[in-house]
Every structure is written in C-alpha cells, then in structure tokens.
Amino acid sequence: MCPVRWFPVNRFAVRVNVSRPSSTGFRRTTIEPSSLSRTRAWVESFVVAHDICPFAGREVRRGAIRYAVAEASDLEGLLHELVGECRHLDANADIATTLLIVPVSMDDFDDYLDWLELAERLMEDLGYGGIYQLASFHPDYLFDGVEATDPANATNRSPYPMLHILREAELERAIAHHTDPEGIPERNMTLLRAPGSRALARSRQLLDRTSDGPGE
C-alpha cells in the first residue's frame, strides 16, 4: 500500500458540487459482500506478510486502517464518497489511513485513471493538498513503461479498484524512520520477479475473484 505517484494524461473535467448530500443522486447497484474480507486478506497476507509496504504492519496491528466500500458507481458519486472519507479522517484522528474500495465500477483501468486524475484535482481544490495523499490500486494496474505481464505490477494490483487515502504527516514520519525508503520499490520488484516467488503466487491467488474466498 505504499504510495506510487501516477500522472495520467488530462482527458476531461467534471464539475462536482461537494455541498450536495452524499446520500442522494447516486446510481447504486449490488455490492459484493466479500469485498471487505478480500481486501483485508490482501492487505494482511500480501501487503503486510510480504512486507510490500513496511509501514502497513503497524497500522494493521493498531486497527487504524479504515476499510470503506463505495456504494456509488458513477464518477461524480465516487468523487463525493472520496470527499466524505476525507472529512471522516478530518474528524477521526485515531484513523491512520483509509482504503476506499470500489467493487461495482471502475473495472476498466483507463476509466480508473480518469477517476484518479479528477480525485487528485478535487483534493487540491478543497485544500487537502499537503494533508492527504492518494495512492492508487487496481486489479489491472500497469506501471508506465512496464509490460502488462511483468510481475512488478503486482505491487499495485488489488482485488478491487481502490484509492488509498494517506495522512501526509504520518507518511513523512514513517519515511523518516525507515532506513531505505527509496529502495522499497526496487526491493518489491526483485521480490515479485524472483523465480517461484511466493509473494507473486499469493498476489495472484488473492486477485482471483472467481474463487470462493481469499484462502489461507
């Protein structure tokens, strides 16, 4: 869950009325009941167990990660839900970070990048720049300049499209206490690209939404 910057190409803009109540005007659909359990399993048995993000284990042990499942399936609705989660963090200092899970839309990675771009713009417009930072995860995540089949992409591949909302101050403190924060991405790529990588096998198991559950 360590943040990775992504700079998609500007495509379009959406005007969002953030004062509109988030409980109205959304197109909703059935939410997959297993989305929370699958995401928790991904965090605990891939991200933490294989030290993909060395900062995540502490927050899991403290119970300081909020898992929020988005109910909206349209772009504007999802932006409203993101704003709602930021405001929830504003009011709850005991929550270190939030994963906003999107189980009913954004399956297309390009659509997801459009949402991410608009989300980052909206965060800046609302004055959250320097307070919260977004990290991106998607089942079909593809790093710029990397082949789709490269195991390194598993670093940011998650069971569902999601946004990770991080408190920048806490992130900076965690980085300051890490011996080699700049080496984390390279270490992860080496781990996942290794022949017979157990981390890669676990990632693929957790991303398989056709299975009965996250497994052991």
3-state DSSP of 108-158: CHHHHHHHHHHHHHHHHHCCCCCCEEEEEECCCCCCCCCCCCCHHHHHHCC
| pLDDT for the residue numbered 179 | 81
**Could you tell me which residues are beta bridge partners of residue 88?**
none
Between CA 24 and CA 111 the distance in angstroms is 23
pLDDT value for 177: 80
Separation CA 45–CA 37 (nearest Å): 12
Predicted confidence at residue 176, as pLDDT, reads 87
pLDDT of 16 reads 47
Q: Which residue has the higher pLDDT, 89 or 29?
A: 89
- Percentage of the chain with pLDDT > 70? 81
Task: Give which of 41, 21, 155, 35 is closest to 106, Cα–Cα.
Answer: 35
Residue 203's contacts (CB-CB under 8 Å, 6 or more residues apart) are 46, 154, 157, 192
pLDDT at 12: 37
For residue 104, what are its two tokens?
């009913």
Q: What letter would DSSP give residue 47?
A: I
pLDDT tens digits, residue range 86-141?
999 999 999 999 999 999 899 999 999 999 999 999 999 999 999 999 999 999 99
Each domain of the chain, given as residue ranges in start order, spans: 38-207
Using alpha carbons only, give the angle 57, 191, 140 rounded to the nearest 5 degrees. Answer: 80
Rounded to 5 degrees, φ, ψ at 212 are: -70, -25
Residue 80 confidence (pLDDT) above 80: yes
How far is 157 from 150, CA to CA, in rounded Å? 12
Closest CA to 191 of 53, 50, 57, 4: 50
3 state SS of 162: strand
**How far separated are the first and last CA of the chain, in Å rounded?**
20
Token readout for 160 is: 């569902």
Q: What does the pLDDT look like over 168-187, one tens digit per residue?
A: 998 898 888 888 888 999 99
Predicted model pTM: 0.83
3-state secondary structure at position 174: helix
